[in-house]
Amino acid sequence: MGTSLGAFPSSSAAGVKLLNGQYEVLTALPLPGAGGGLPAFAARHQPSGRTDFMAVRASPGAPPRANTLARLEGEVIPGLLTPLAHGPGPAPEGGEAYYVICPEPPGPSLAAPAASGSPWGEAEILHYVLRPAAHVLEALKSRGLTHRAIRPDNIFSGGAKNPVVLGCAWAAPPASLQPAVFEPPYMAMCAPACRGEGSIADDVYALGVTLLTLALGRTPLAELDTEAIILRKLSRGSFEALAADAELPSLLADLLRSMLAEDPAHRPSPALLLDTSTARSRKVTTRPPRRAQRPLTLDANPVWDVRSLAYQVATHPEPGARMLRNGAVTDWIRRELGANQMASTLEELVRWRAREGGTEDRRADSILVLRAVAVLDPLAPPAWRGILLWPDGVGPALAAAMAKGNEELAELRDFIISHAITLWAAQQGSRVDAATLRQQAQQMELWLRARAWETGIARLAYALNPLMPCASPLLRGRWVISAAELLKALDAAAAQPEVRRLAPMDTHLAAFIAVRQDHSFYLDVWEAARAGPPARLVLAELNLLVAVETRNNLGPLPQLSAWVGEHAKAALELWHSRTRRAALQQQLQALATGGRLQPILTLLDDPAALQADAEGLQHALARIGEIDAELAQIAAGSSTRAALAERIGREFAAGATLAALTAALVAAALG
C-alpha cells in the first residue's frame, strides 16, 4: 500500500513509546482496509528507520491468538503478512491498545473497489491466487497452524502479474471476522468468538469460496443472512448452495467441488492443490442430503433433512428437548428418512434422560440436546443451551462474554462443570482425541469448582487467553497482560483521586495475579478473607500485591504504596493494645511514602507481635474476671467477705479505688 517515508511525521522526540522496544505505532496515519477487518495504522521500525510496516489493533474482548503469535512471530513465509512483534502501545483516543506488527500489504485487497467488479479468468485465479495461497497454507500446516481469515478483503494484490499475499490473521480470535459464507456450516453456526483454531481443511474451504467469489465477480449468497446461509448449505451441500447455478470452467468447478466438501477429511490438502491436475482427478462424491417428503416442524421451522434438524435442535434447545423426549424426532427419522439405527441411538439417549431426572431438569435436557445433536450431525460442534462452540473456542467465548457482561458467562460455566465436552467427545468416536479433550475439560472444571464462581470464571478466562488484558476497572484503559506490568499500572492509576477511594484489589486483579503470577494460594486466602472482618481482607489483599512485587523485583511504586497505606489502616483493628496501635499507625504513615509494599505487610502482619498482643489481652481479661468473681463474693456475703474487705481496703489505702483499678486493667488491655 506503500506510504513514502516523507509522509511520516518525525518521532525523534524523547518519550515515544516503542512497541517491543522497536516499533512506533503512528496512530495519526490509519491504513484503511489493511488490517483484514481490524483497525490498522502505519508503523515505523526505529532501529532501521523503515516505514513499510503496519500495526493491527486488537480488541480487549477479542484477544489476539497467543499460541499462533508465539510460534509464528519473526518467521518469514513468502506470500503471508507474518507477525513481527506484538504488545501494548498508545491508542488514538488515549490510553493503551494492543497491536500486532506486520509488514504493510503490498497493494489493495481483492475486495477493494479498484480490484473487484469483473470476474477473474481461470488462469489468473489458479496462477495468482490458488497456488500462492496453497504454498502459504502448506507452510502453516507444517507448523501445526491455521490462518482462519482467508477472504477477498484480507488477500492483497502483489502488483501486476504478481501473486497475492494473505493478510494478517493474528490480532483476533481465529475466524472471528469471517462472514458465514466463507466458513463451513459447522463453523459458521458458532458465534464468531467460538469457532476455534479449526484445521487447515477449513482454510482450504475458505480459499475455495474466495476463488468462487473471484470467478463470479461477486460474493455468493450475499443477499442472505447468516442463518439462511447456514441452512442452505446444510440442506443442499456447500458446493450446490454456492455454485450450483454458476457457469464455471470445468477445471475450476472440479477443484471447488472438492475444496467445498462437507467433511473436512474429504478436502484436498494444500500440497495437493499445488498440482491442480492431480487435485482435479481426486473426485469427491457430493450427494445432497436425503430430503424427507414431509417436514418436521420445530418451533415453527420446517425441517427437511437430518443436518438441518440437528441445527434447529441446537439453536432451539427447549422445544428440541421436548420433541426428543416425546418421540416426535425419532418417529420422523424412521418414517421419513428410514434411518433406523440413528433413531435407535436417539431413543437410548431419551431413556437415559428419563432415568436421569424429572421433566423440569434443565441440565439433563441440555445434556440430551448436546448428545442428540452429535448423533444427528457428527460434524456439528458441541451445543449447549443455544450456544454452539468448539472446545478450543471456550477461552475466546469467555473473553467475549466478560467484555459484554452478559448471561452467557453462567451458561459457559454450566457447560464446563456438566462435563459437556467429555460427553460430546464420547459421541464422536475417532473424529476427535477424546482423551486429550477429557483432560482439558477436567482442568477447566477444576479451576471453576475450586473458586467462588465469579472468581473462577475470571481465572479461567485469563488462563485460556494469555493475551487478554486484566479487566479490572481500576486500570482505566491500560492493556496489562503481565503481573510485572500490573503494579506499575496500579501505581499510575493511583494518581487519580477517584481511584484512591476504592480498595486496591478486586475480583479481576486477584484472578489475574493467580494466573499470571501462579499465586493460587494467596487467591484462596483472599477468597476466604472476603467472608471475614475487613482487617483480614486487607492483609489478604496485601499478600497478593506483595507476592507480585517480590517476584518481579520492581522499583519504587510511590503512588501505589500511598494508596495501599491508606486502605491498610483497617488492618490496625487486629491489634488490641491502643498504645501499640497508635505506634503502628505512625509507622504505617511513614512506610506509605516509601514506595514499597513489603515493609507495610511486614509491619501489619507480624505473627509474633500479634500473638503477644493477643496474650496481653487474655491476661487482662483474666484479671478482670478474677476481680468480678471477688466482687460477686462480697455481694453475696460469703465467709471470706471480711478478708476480702480488708485486702481491698489496703488497696484503697495505697491510693487506688476499686473502680480505678478496674479501669486501669481495662486500659491495660486496650493500650
- What is the radius of gyration, based on Cα positions, of the chain? 34
Q: What is the pLDDT of residue 531?
A: 80
| pLDDT number for residue 525 | 85
CATH architecture for segment(s) 5-103: 2-Layer Sandwich (3.30)
In tens, the pLDDT along 627-660 reads: 766 677 677 765 555 565 566 556 544 444 444 4
Backbone torsions φ then ψ of 27, nearest 5 degrees? -65, -15
Query: What pLDDT, on a 0 to 100 scale, did the predictor assign at position 648?
Result: 58
pLDDT of residue 612: 56
Q: In Å, what is the CA distance from 655 to each residue of 155, 658, 661?
A: 98, 10, 10
CB atoms within 10 A of CB 524: 14
Place of cell 486501669: 664
Determine the pLDDT at residue 118.
85
- Residue by residue, what is the 3-state secondary structure of 532-595? CCHHHHHHHHHHHHHHHHHHHCCCCCHHHHHHHHHHHHHHHHHCCCHHHHHHHHHHHHHHCCCC
pLDDT of residue 652: 47
Closest CA to 220 of 250, 235, 240, 249: 240
The predicted structure's pLDDT at residue 666: 44
109 secondary structure, DSSP code: B
Which tens digits make up the pLDDT trace of 32-42? Answer: 999 999 999 99
Work out the number of other CB atoms within 10 angstroms of the CB of residue 355: 7
> Do 442 and 376 contact (CB within 8 A), yes or no?
no
Q: Which residues of the chain have pLDDT under 50?
A: 2-14, 617, 652-670
Q: Give residue limits of the domains in the chain.
A: 5-103, 122-281, 302-325+338-453, 473-605, 611-670
Element (H, E) at 155: strand 155-156
**Closest Cα partner for 101 from 36, 19, 9?**
19
Question: Rounded CA gap, 128 and 124, in Å?
Answer: 6
For 550, other C-beta atoms within 10 Å of its C-beta total 12
CATH of domain 122-281: 1.10.510.10
